[in-house]
Amino acid sequence: LARTTADHFKLLLRNEPPRQLYARLEEMANKVNRFNWDPGCKDSYWLQIRGGVCVVRDPGQSITILRDQANLARKKVQLSAGNQLFACEFYAPKDQHTMLLDRDIFNQLDAALEAGRIRMYLQPKVDLATGETLGAEALTRWLDEDGAVLYTPAQFIPVLERHGTVVKLDGYLFEQACRRLRRWLDEGRRPVPISVNFSRAHLRQPDVLGGYQRVQQQYGIPPELLEIELTETMIGEDIAYFTHLVQAIHAKGFRCALDDFGSGYSSMTMLKDVPVDTVKLDRSFFLMDQEDAVLCRRAWDIIESVIALAKKLGIATVAEGIEDQAQVRRLRACGCDSVQGYVFSKPVPPEEFEQNYL
Ligand code: C2E
Ligand code: MG
Ligand code: MG
């Protein structure tokens, strides 16, 4: 056993099957925390322990490499907030690739922003009653020199979130949205609201909304043309904070949507307590096995009820990720307000959006 730096320790253990090894480490973590159970312990202090395991397959391998690989495995560990005291991950060769991609993405962000290779695409939200475009969501695309998509948001947003730089990206998109709205206003087009996504990394930043407001005022955009999308998973259990955030967004005059509704577990509480203007029903609601009539009916019963409930609460509904017309018809019949999905359009460059949907 060695302590290398700060609160990092290295253990060399006999090679055992992973499950046994995991149990052994977990037991150690429990022992470390045992003082909390001591009757004389007045202030409990729980230590969350993350482990990374690198199984030694080649005894000739250098200790430096083994150590780096164990570290890489440790960085994969996601401890749930609150009471999870221990978790550990095992090194796999593909982690090396992930780390390199991670580093590339992180290192290239500034240059890509500078070179204008990070773009705002727009995807229309279509009003189911009138067929008109009700608004658009701004979604980011990272393009290569030839204009082809280099990284999808699923690839680069998590990396930027880990580094905290996603805040910069979100701010950039917000400004792009304002700039585009300014153009529409100047050209005398009927402007539709643009919504932007708000990453969890913002929660640690003071006065982000103040910054957003300054940009909105600088471009002279009516704030109700801007909407911020929050996801329930970004806040976790802290509904009070979420409510506060939504109120702060409204205080600046922006609208607020609850994104990916139904993908987490606290959805109903959210509806009860959080005064959002819009809920976006997650795509997972609509991924149903068409062959299974019973499950299909249940899924639609839930969708209908959620839409009815939102209506009762005065919250607008957007169904996300809709790909087929039959679902559009059904949603219209249920009273869903709008649809954002490939059935109408993929996210497209703003020029294309203007041409086809404004
Ligand atoms: P989201 O905010 O829920 O955005 C909707 C996602 O669903 C988009 O994926 C969109 O392209 C996709 N989608 C829309 N209609 C359909 C459909 O009919 N079928 C399928 N299969 N997919 C559909 P995208 O653009 O890849 O973005 C994924 C996620 O990345 C977004 O989910 C959002 O959470 C995040 N994201 C994208 N841009 C930004 C950004 O600028 N900032 C932050 N913080 N997050 C972003
Ligand atoms: Mg969104
Ligand atoms: Mg969504």
Q: Please give the C-alpha separations between residue 310 and each of 187, 230, 244, in angstroms, as whole numbers.
A: 36, 17, 20
The rounded Å distance from CA 321 to ligand 3 centre is: 8
How many whole angstroms from its chain centre is CA 2?
38
Residue 205: per-residue pLDDT: 73
CA–CA dist 217, 219 (Å, integer): 5
The rounded Å distance from CA 102 to ligand 3 centre is: 24
Atom 43 of ligand 1, residue of closest alpha carbon: 197
CA–CA dist 344, 166 (Å, integer): 29
Residue 201: per-residue pLDDT: 80
User: Who surrounds ion ligand 2 at CB < 5 A?
Assistant: 197, 229, 259
Residue 207: per-residue pLDDT: 82
The rounded Å distance from CA 139 to ligand 1 centre is: 6
- DSSP letter at 33? T
Structure tokens at 357: 């949907």
Q: Please give all residues whose beta carbon lies within 6 A of any atom in ligand 1, as ranges.
A: 123, 139-140, 152-154, 157, 166, 169-170, 173, 197, 199, 229, 259-260, 320-323, 340-342, 347
Residue 266: per-residue pLDDT: 65
- H-helix segments, 91-143: 94-114
Kindly report, residue by residue over 280-291, the tens digit of the pLDDT: 999 988 888 777
Ligand showing the shortest atom-to-Cα distance for residue 125: 1
CA–CA dist 346, 220 (Å, integer): 29
Structure tokens at 213: 């407001």
CA–CA dist 311, 39 (Å, integer): 53
Give the residue ranges of the chain where pLDDT is below 50. none
